[in-house]
Structure formats: structure tokens, C-alpha cells
Homo-oligomer: A and B are copies of this chain.
Amino acid sequence: MPKQRVTIKDISGELGVSCAIITRALNDRPGVSDALRRRITETARRLGYQPNSVARSMARSPIRIGIVIPCQWQSFYSSLEKGIAAELDSLLDYKVTGEFYRVENPYSADDYISKLEACANDGVDGILLADIYPVGLDDLFGRISEKKTPIVTIGLPGKNTESVLSSVSVDSYCSGVMAAQMLSKSVDAGGRVVIFVGSRENEEHSLKISGFTAEAKRQGLRPEGAYETNDDAAVAERIFENLSQSGKAPDGIYLATSGAQTLPELIFRMGVGTRIVTTDVSDELVSAFRHKNMVCSIFQDPEKQGRLAVRALYESLAEHIEPERKILIPPSIVIEANLAQFIEK
């Protein structure tokens, strides 16, 4: 019986105009005189009007989201896709549907471009673009036709960001800092530490290097280099063996890419004391957590990245809510005791 919520009907009553014109005005659609539009927005604010998102999504025409994503090829992408699918699913009642466009060769910009264009030509209302690996999207956006379809990316889009509504990624610099701090709890002061990444060209990987190196120094450790594995387990293993050749294996390693998850096992077999911080949690990695050299993993929550990206796009499309330009997921620390929560999903 108290103050009900304000509806457009209230505004309509207050102003003596029809509901139809009010929606148009409030949703920035054409076909309203400037004078009336101003009066409407004005009284809407005065009355404290908040659109009812439930009623809105009931009435509007369906929203179609196109998803351009590499074929599942790393565990990262399959989790990512799971998150995207989950969020799409929860938006089903809101008349949102997703259409997947799968990129066969994730190293080919051309493949991305053709899928992006196909997607835009199909007339989707918004596009979700999973990152190109290992480089940014600069090249891409220079070449695709200028549709005004909003794009949300997963992974940092590189320099050419004007055409991107929002990007979702992990806070990579923070990941690096966290790895260094965790290592410093198990490695004595003055210990030598290294970082392995996929490719330095990838902005997120280079941010991890910066964060890790800076913090390692601050913690009194000795950072001794960043190595590129190209996400090839064999390469990673070779590099590590070379490093240990001279009899002095590093005291700590931050394996900052989820592309070479077999390295920990090699390190255990070698019997060196190197403490390890890894990235994410794949099946191969699970058993490693029991080993004494394993410090923790830094979890990037790919599933959450997928969910947030869909949601940002939806809110922009449906509720006219401008998303943050850059959505950063804070990484989590995984140890043996809380491992379960990161794999069950």
C-alpha cells in the first residue's frame, strides 16, 4: 500500500501524453520533438522513474548476439565457452539468443575477419569476440567493414580500441604481482626466479612479466629472465632443462601461460627444489597440487570472463547501460585445499 514504483503511466498522467511517445523519448529513439523529449526526461528524473527491466524484456523484440570464438583448443577456451553458454542460457527468458561462429585456425587473422563479417551480415545486434592469440586485434579492426554493431572482446584488444565497446580480461599485471608474492613466501630472500609466458607480443603476457619482475625485486628475489614457450610443452621443457644445465635450477618459476601444463611434472621428476606457481587449473595439473614444490596456481576464471562479456553486451543492448571500457577480472589463488571449487565447474 505504500509508494508503488513509478511507471511510464505515471509520467504519461503527469504530462498528458501517451505512453508510446514516452518510451521513444526515454530510449533515445527518433520521432519525438525536442521540446517534448526534454519535458519527458525531465519529469522522469523528477519522479524518480526506473524502467522495469522485466516488463521491458517481455515487450521488446528479441536480441541476437553473435559469438566469434576459436574452436576449443586450449582448456581456456572451453571454459570460456561454458561461461558464455551459461550466461546466454540465463538470458533465454529475456529473449536473448546467441549464435556461434567458430574460427578454425586461431592464428589466422583472415579467418577471424571472414567470421566477423559473416556475423555482422547476418544482422546480429551485438558481437562477442574471443581474443586472437597470440597477438592483439589491431590488424583485424583495421580491415573489417565499418558496421556500427557493438563489439565486446575477451582479452585485451590492443591499440585499436575505439571500435570496441568493452573488453573483458584478467588483471594480468596483478597476476604477476600475486605470483611473485606467493613465491616469496616459500623461496628464501635472494632466490632466483624466472617467468615462462606464451609470447611476449601478447599484451597480457607482457603485463604479467612486468608485474612479476617488479614485485619479485621488491620482495628481495632475483628475477632472472622471461622465456617464451609459444605454448608448446616441448619448448618449455627444453628451456627449463637448459636453465638447469649448469646445475643451478631456478629457485622459483612462474608458469604464466596455461599452454605448458606438463612442465611441473618434469620439474618434480628432475628432483630440483624449484618452487612453482602456475596458471589456471587443467586436468593435467590437478595431481601436481599435492607436491611440496607446488606453491599455488593463479586462476584467471575464463568462465567468469565469458559470463561478464555476455552480460556487458546484453546490458548495453537491452538497458542502454554503458559498460566499463575495460573489465578486469581479479585472479584467484588456488592451493590444494580449495582446488575443488575450481575444477568442479
Choose, from A29-37, A74-82, A138-146, A328-336, the stretch at the interface. A328-336
Please tell me if the beta carbons of B93 and A53 are within 8 angstroms of each other in the complex: yes
Interface of A is mostly: helix
The stretch among A108-116, A119-127, A177-185 that forms the contact with chain B is A177-185
Q: Which residues of B contact A215 (CB under 8 A)?
A: 337
Contacts of A58 in B (CB 8 A): 54-55, 58
Chain A residues packing against B (C-beta within 8 Å): 5, 50, 52-55, 57-58, 92-94, 174, 177-178, 180-182, 185-186, 215, 295-296, 330-333, 335-338, 340-341
Contacts of A54 in B (CB 8 A): 54, 57-58, 93-94
Bound-state Cα–Cα, A92 to B53, Å: 10
A336 proximity list for chain B (CB < 8 A):
181
A335 touching B178, Cβ below 8 Å:
yes
Complex CA distance for A203 and B330, rounded to whole angstroms: 31
By a CB distance below 8 angstroms, the chain B residues around A93 are 52-55
Chain B residue numbers with a CB within 8 Å of A52 are 93
11 pairs across A/B with beta carbons < 8 Å?
A: A50-B92, A53-B93, A54-B93, A58-B58, A174-B338, A178-B338, A180-B337, A215-B337, A296-B333, A332-B333, A333-B338
- Return A168 CB to nearest CB of chain B, in Å: 15
In the bound assembly, the distance between CA atoms of A52 and B54 in angstroms comes to 11
In the complex, residue of chain B having the shortest beta-carbon distance to the beta carbon of A341: B330
B332 and A332: CB pair below 8 A? yes
Q: How far is the CA of A328 from the CA of B181 in the complex (A)?
A: 28
Residue of B nearest to A5 (CB): B92
Taken together as a complex, chains A and B put the C-alpha atoms of A92 and B332 apart, in Å, by 31
CB of A39, distance to nearest CB on chain B (Å): 26
Bound Cα distance from A54 to B185, whole angstroms: 50
Residues of B within 8 A of A333 (CB): 296, 332-333, 335, 338
Bound CA span A92–B54, Å: 10
Q: Report B-chain residues with C-beta under 8 Å of the C-beta of A178.
A: 335, 337-338
Check if A182 sits within 8 Å of B335, measured CB to CB: yes
Q: Is the CB of B335 within 8 A of A181?
A: yes
Q: Which B residues are in CB contact (< 8 Å) with A57?
A: 54
Asked if residues B335 and A331 are in contact (CB atoms below 8 Å), the reply is no
State how many angstroms separate the Cβ of A276 from the closest Cβ of chain B: 12
Closest Cβ–Cβ distance, residue A341 to chain B (whole Å)? 4
Q: Which residue of B lies closest to A94 (CB)?
A: B54
With A and B bound together, what is the CA distance between A296 and B184 in angstroms?
13
Chain B neighbourhood of A180, CB < 8 A: 337
A70 to chain B minimum Cβ distance, whole angstroms, is: 25
Residue from the list B5, B94, B174, B337 in contact with A174, Cβ < 8 A: B337
Q: How far is the CA of A201 from the CA of B191 in the complex (A)?
A: 45
